[in-house]
Every structure is written in C-alpha cells, then in structure tokens.
Amino acid sequence: MANQLLMPKATAVWLVDNTAMTFDQIAQFCQLHPLEVKAIADGDAAQGIKGMDPVSTGQLSREEIARAEADSGYRPKLSEPKVRIPEKKRRGPRYTPLSKRQDRPNAILWLVRNHPELKDAQISRLVGTTKSTIEQIRNRTHWNSANLQPMDPVTLGLCSQIDLDLEVQRASRGVQPQQPVGDTLLPASATESLPVEEKAPEPKKDDDELDADAVFAKLSSLKTTTPPADEE
C-alpha cells in the first residue's frame, strides 16, 4: 500500500495553527495548492474541520517540523510507516453496479469479437461476469443473443483502458503473429534474384498503313523494265 498522508486538509489546519512552516511547505506536504493553504489560514476554507496532529499519527516527526521552520526552502518528508499493510488483492470477478449490468453481455460480445485471444477468466476479470455467460455468448445460446450489440467495455465504464491493454498483452504472450493471407508483394531482396524475362517481339499488325512513296517507287521501276510495244 502506498505511503499517503491521512486527512490532508485536517493536517494542513493543524500545521497552520501550530507551526511556523510556510504556505508552500504545508501545501507540498499536504498535497494542496498554496492558495488553498492561504485560504485556510485566512479562515476562508476548511471551516469546521478540526486539525489533526501528524506527529501523533506518526506521519511527521518533530525534527522535520523544526528543520522546515529553520529553512523555508526545505520540504518536509512524510515519515515511513512502522507497519506496512499489504495491499488487498481482489479475488473473483469485478463488481459491476446494477445500472451497468445490463451492458455486460454487449461488452462480452465486443471482447469476444475483437480480442479472441482473451481467455474466459480474463474477460470475467474485466467486466465482472461468469464463465457460463461468456460461453453462452460465444456459442450464441444466450437468451438475448438476437438483440446483443458489441460495445466497447471501456466506453461503457465497465473497465479501464489500462486494464484492457494489460489483459490483451498477457494473452498475446507467446502467440505467433498471424501470417498474411492472399497475394502479397515480394520483398526487394527476393525480386532482385528473379530472372528477367525477355520480351517477345510484337507481331506485325495487318492493318499497318502502306508507305505511299515505296509503292510509287516500285511502280516506276516496273515501267522502266517493261520493253515498248512494236508500232504497226
């Protein structure tokens, strides 16, 4: 569990009333804005809040307070807790509010279609459902299958994008990338080694236009070679 200050505003009230620390020092220690600390000192904010002594709770030592009062540039540090309470791990499916439970089947359908690599246990952790419900939606045996519409569980507020990305990353470990299907372009290294095919000569078209000068030249040669006929 992270080491955090308990009741920061009540602590700020106590530090304003009982120490000579600056507003910036109190704001940094209590994780508040300096203007908010100034408003507490002026009585404009935190009215009715009883100050809490951080020394008695073991979150700030007298030495840190004295050092901060002597040096306005010093930033007091939160004392390390004497007993660390381990963070409680959540077991079982995530709790889903009643107002969002009707959206769970749509979210499950979206996860099944868009992330088929996810296991049932992962989907159950994300949206807070049971494995039997996931199997019914996978097999289209759910009582409301005809009316289900795939919807992003992050948009529905059933899980966070970080949780979804983490589960997808876990499910994708060790999975071979899918090979592309269909015609694809060959890499340049493969195409350079292929033999170059020689182009066959194009057949002569029958309807090519005749050269008029060549035809007249041929006719002229025929006239000169033909002997003149004898006159009667």
Q: What is the pLDDT of residue 25?
A: 94
Among 108, 122, 207, which Cα is nearest to 168's? 122
The C-alpha atoms of residue 199 and residue 202 are separated, in whole angstroms, by: 8
> What are residue 13's phi and psi, to 5 degrees?
-60, -45
Q: What is the pLDDT of residues 61-71, one digit of tens each?
A: 999 999 999 99
Q: What is the pLDDT of residues 81-110, one digit of tens each?
A: 665 545 555 554 555 555 556 788 999 999
Spans of all domains in the chain: 8-70, 98-172
> Is the separation of the CB atoms in 46 and 9 below 8 Å?
yes
Token readout for 157 is 């507020």
Q: 20 to each of 57, 107, 138, how far by Cα in Å? A: 20, 55, 65
Q: Residue 119: pLDDT above 50?
A: yes
Q: What is the pLDDT of residue 158?
A: 85
Q: What is the pLDDT of residues 169-206, one digit of tens each?
A: 888 775 555 554 455 555 555 556 555 555 555 555 54
| pTM (2 d.p.) | 0.38
